[in-house]
Each structure stands twice: as C-alpha cells, then as structure tokens.
C-alpha cells in the first residue's frame, strides 16, 4: 500500500510540473472543444480544437516561447490533412498530407533582399 501511495504522489508531481497552463472552451455552434496552451512565460504555445471524443479537429497553430508562429496544421477527425507549414528562421517547409500520410514536402529559403533603402 505504501508503494502505491509513493507512486501516485510521484505521478501527480511529475505531471503537475510537466504540463503548461491550458484553457478549454466549449463551442456550442461547432460542437468542438477549443483549447489554448501556454508556455511557462505566459505566451501562447498552441491553439486548436478537439472533437467531443478527444480527436484533433480543424486548424492548429504552434508558437515559440516568444510568441512567433512556428507551425500551422490541419486535422480532420484526428487525421492529418492538407498543407502543413513549419517556419524556422528564414526557412519555410510545406508538408502535404493525403489520407493521413505525407504526400510531398517542399522547402523554401528567403535569403534575398527584396527592398533596400539607400
């Protein structure tokens, strides 16, 4: 019995400190649970929606600890669909999903000067 209590306490403590804050809101119009996750510094980490049975649904956005967007994804009833985008510095990756499987990956880099002020 003592071992069970110790294990339960360890699990509670580890999950309490490993999870960042989140806010859940029921959207009665769409019948989805909208969620916003936060970094420990208070900046938004992710936004998205779940179906009532817990499957990812619709558009999801991810942000770094400074609030800069780093990913855009789309789910349909828990499956990856459409175009996903990942930003890293001046590089953009586009991943196309079809039937929950990667169909193609494209990458662009923006290292050219578009406008210069003299």
* 11-54 residue pLDDT tens: 444 333 345 799 999 999 999 999 999 999 999 999 999 999 99
Distances (CA, A) of 37 to 29, 49, 57: 22, 11, 15
Domains annotated on the chain, with CATH: 22-109 (2.20.110)
Bridge partners (DSSP) listed for residue 73: 60
Q: For 57-114, how does the pLDDT look when each residue is reduced to its tens digit (9 = 90+)? A: 999 999 999 999 999 999 999 999 999 999 998 899 999 999 899 999 999 887 665 5
What pTM does this model have? 0.74
Contact 84, 74 (CB under 8 A): yes
CB 44 within 8 A of CB 55: no
């Amino acid at each position: 019995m003592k071992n069970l209590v110790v294990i339960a306490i360890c699990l509670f403590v580890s999950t309490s400190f490993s999870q960042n804050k989140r806010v859940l809101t029921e959207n009665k119009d769409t019948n989805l649970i909208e969620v916003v996750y936060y970094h420990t510094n208070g900046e938004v980490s992710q936004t998205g929606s779940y179906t009532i049975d817990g499957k990812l649904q619709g558009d999801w956005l991810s942000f770094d600890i400074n609030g800069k967007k780093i990913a855009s994804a789309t789910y349909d009833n828990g499956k990856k669909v459409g175009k996903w985008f990942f930003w890293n510095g001046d590089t953009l990756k586009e991943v196309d999903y079809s039937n929950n499987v990667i169909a193609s990956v494209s990458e662009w880099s923006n290292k050219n000067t578009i406008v210069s002020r003299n």
